[in-house]
Amino acid sequence: MRCWGLAPDGAAFETPFGSRLAPVRYGDSRAMLKIAGGPEERDGAAVMVWWGGDGAAPVLAHEAEALLLVRASDDGGLANLVRSGRDDQATAVLCAVADRLHAPRRKPIPPTVRPLDAWFRALWPAAEREGGLIGRAASTARGLLDAPRDIAVLHGDLHHGNVLDFGPAGWLAIDPKGLIGERGYDFANLFCNPWPEADDPDRLERRLDQVASASDLDRHRLRQWILAYAGLSAAWTLESGMPSDGPWRALRIAEMAAAGL
């Protein structure tokens, strides 16, 4: 705060991942100061810097764990669009942001990005233990990861809560994981959000059509990524030891995705 000349502009808070955030003033600008809570969050900050404000929130300053971002408006974001009957509009925004993030850059990729294959490490033991739908998700994921297409730097957690309205700058992403792999993976999470609206087979099918068309993705392969991601999400919930929601939400999405394969 002292080094960057920041003034508090609201109550600080902590994320479930252990990062600390504080709304601040940076001169005349509204900004958000984030102190990363671990290596994963630090790696995401490096990708934010690399994107340079193209598809992601502009970075004002960055050093070690500290990241200073332009602050978004507080309007409830894309989930509010879905809940007001504008799901197609929210999906279009997510597709447009993803396409900007995935675009090639004429600069070296950050060395901290993680391969997508390593990101799935929790799924394999869960599949051996649980079998069933998680086992099917694992075999589907293995096939996708063994023959990747359209490699890009990925956000890794692209959903309605991580794309915010930045006013004149439009809709931009925050909180990436910093991965590299097939770009189809980045679209899978949006099919799981927001809840409970995502628990609708007709909505999933409409989104499949829209995303496949807008982002030039194979519809069948996109459905496979949804199944693979939902299985991974269920595995993470089981691994955490705190399944307060249980893995049932993710498994419900996996069930709907698998029904069309």
pLDDT at residue 121 greater than cutoff 70: yes
Which pLDDT belongs to residue 17? 76
Which pLDDT belongs to residue 41? 86
Closest CA to 192 of 253, 248, 235, 237: 253
Q: Which residue bears the tokens 């995705």?
A: 257
211, 224 contact by CB (below 8 A): no
State the Rg of the chain over Cα.
Answer: 18
pLDDT at residue 245 greater than cutoff 70: no
Domain ranges within the chain, ordered by starting residue: 6-70, 77-258
Catalytic annotation, residues: 157
| Distances 113 to 54, 94, 110 between C-alpha atoms, Å | 18, 21, 6
CATH superfamily of 77-258: Aminoglycoside phosphotransferase (APH), C-terminal lobe (3.90.1200.10)
For the chain, the straight-line distance linking the first and the last C-alpha, in angstroms and rounded, comes to 52
3-state class of 129 per DSSP? Answer: helix
- Which DSSP letter does residue 113 get? P
Which pLDDT belongs to residue 243? 56
Banded model confidence at residue 253, pLDDT cuts 50, 70, 90: very high
Banded model confidence at residue 247, pLDDT cuts 50, 70, 90: confident
Which pLDDT belongs to residue 63? 94
Closest CA to 194 of 161, 222, 227: 161
For residue range 61-85, what is the model confidence (pLDDT) as tens digits? 999 899 999 999 866 789 999 999 9
